[in-house]
Amino acid sequence: MTKPTVGFYDLTGCNGCLLSFVFNEDEILHIAKHVDIKTFRFIKEKKDDKQYDVVFVEGLVASNEDIESIKSIREKTKILVALGACACTGCIPAYRNFIEPSKYVYLTYDKIKEINDVQPTPISMHVQVDYSIPGCPADKKQILEFIKELVLGKKPHDYDRPVCFECKLNENRCLLDDNKMCLGPITRGGCNAICTNGKFECWGCRGPMPDANLPLISKLLEQKGFSKDAIKQRLRTFAALQMEKLPVMKPIVIKKKAVKKVKKPKKKLAKAKKKVAKKVLKPKKKIATKMAKKVVKKKIVKKKAAIKKTAKKMIKKTAKKTVTKKKTKNNSNKKQKSLFGKLFKRLGK
Ligand code: SF4
Ligand code: SF4
Ligand code: SF4
């Protein structure tokens, strides 16, 4: 009986999922008796990559080289298996789709810019995927089960219950009751609720259930006191591109060469600044003229008041003078009258 030929490949990822398979150290030799592992760079130095029955692919598509690799792998195999969260949902690297390039581009090394990267996406967005083994990393036992079913000629099956199911079987206290942000109700199970067993909330690394009710979990978590932003971030962490069914989760559309695009807005910014400056300066001029007018008015009013004052003073002075003149006239008249009186009196004598 000919053994099925198997290959393990990796695109952009951390190799955690490939290691997960290697951690089945007790069973690997047994597996090797039943399948022909042709390519696995942790085990074999040389690639023997003409044709395969099954290929497991770890990592996501994040460069033009990845696109070429996944297309060539697809042509070589009858069955393609997405291994781990990166390959299945895009995992944490796909979060980049939701961040403005200006916020991360300064973190990239100059050499990395030569890689010719593309927006990170799961492999199913580039080629047809036959099966998925989710998780970050993919569960080592699930990989083993998958290979056993394959050898036995059975159709490998997806785990179709949420994490909560296994969590309740393990008699864990629900973390939602302790106001922790657990995504167990919407996350595909099969990991034996490994996180909630240790009292850590489920972050959804195995991706959402096909019938995940995102608006409802968001509402529930909001009622627990979590902000919309915090919920959105948690939902995006491991399966951002799958969660985009929710209107608020739409990714940012970034056209080719995001790095250059970041530089271009500088010119636009300068233009915009000029426009804003014009708009801002114009009213300033208006304000300045208004202010000047007000000042002039005030000055005029003050001057008028001063003129009035001086005029009043002048009038008073002249009035006084005339009064004193009259008085002096009267006095002189009186004096004259008294003199004439004396003369007449003498003449009369
Ligand atoms: S799914 Fe997790 S463990 Fe696997 S390659 Fe991606 S980051 Fe690494
Ligand atoms: S702790 Fe999380 S996984 Fe467990 S029952 Fe509660 S919500 Fe579900
Ligand atoms: S409990 Fe949630 S986060 Fe933890 S391994 Fe399972 S699916 Fe992933």
Q: Stretch 58-82: mean pLDDT, rounded?
A: 95
Which three-class secondary structure state does DSSP give residue 121? strand
pLDDT of residue 183: 97
- Looking at the predicted structure, is the pLDDT value of residue 253 above 70? no
Q: Are residues 147 and 169 in the same domain?
A: no
Nearest to 40 by CA among 63, 24, 53, 57: 57
pTM check: above 0.85: no
Å from CA of 294 to ligand 3 middle:
71
In a domain, 339, yes or no: no
Residue 312: pLDDT band (50, 70, 90) is confident
Q: Are residues 95 and 81 in the same domain?
A: yes
For residues 7 and 74, the answer to whether their CB atoms sit within 8 Å is no
Task: Give the Cα separation of 206 and 112 in Å (integer).
Answer: 29
In a domain, 320, yes or no: no
Q: Are residues 122 and 195 in the same domain?
A: no
Tell me the residue type at 168: K
Q: Are residues 92 and 179 in the same domain?
A: no
Q: Are residues 98 and 211 in the same domain?
A: no
| Total of domains in the chain | 3
Could you tell me if the CB of 167 is within 6 A of ligand 2? yes
- Looking at the predicted structure, is the pLDDT value of residue 265 above 60? no
In a domain, 97, yes or no: yes
The answer to which of 94-98, 208-212, 287-291, 293-297 has the lowest mean pLDDT is: 287-291
For residue range 3-24, list pLDDT tens digits in order.
999 999 999 999 999 999 999 9
Nearest to 236 by CA among 99, 62, 61, 59: 99
Ligand 1 site-directed mutation target among 10, 136, 237, 242, most atoms within 8 Å of CB:
136
Residues of the chain with pLDDT > 70, as a percent, come to 77
Q: Token match 């999922």: residue?
A: 17
Could you tell me if the CB of 137 is within 6 A of ligand 1? yes
pLDDT of residue 343: 53
For residue range 163-222, list pLDDT tens digits in order.
999 999 999 999 999 999 999 999 999 999 999 999 999 999 999 998 898 889 999 999
Residues 6 or more apart whose Cβ sits within 8 Å of residue 315: none
Ligand 1 site-directed mutation target among 14, 66, 140, 142, most atoms within 8 Å of CB:
14
pLDDT of residue 56: 97
In a domain, 294, yes or no: yes
Residue 147: pLDDT band (50, 70, 90) is very high
Task: Give the Cα separation of 325 and 250 in Å (integer).
Answer: 100
CATH label of the domain that carries residue 67: 3.40.50.700
Task: Give the Cα separation of 309 and 327 in Å (integer).
Answer: 27
Nearest to 121 by CA among 71, 59, 170: 59
Q: Structural domain of residue 202, as residue ranges?
A: 159-259
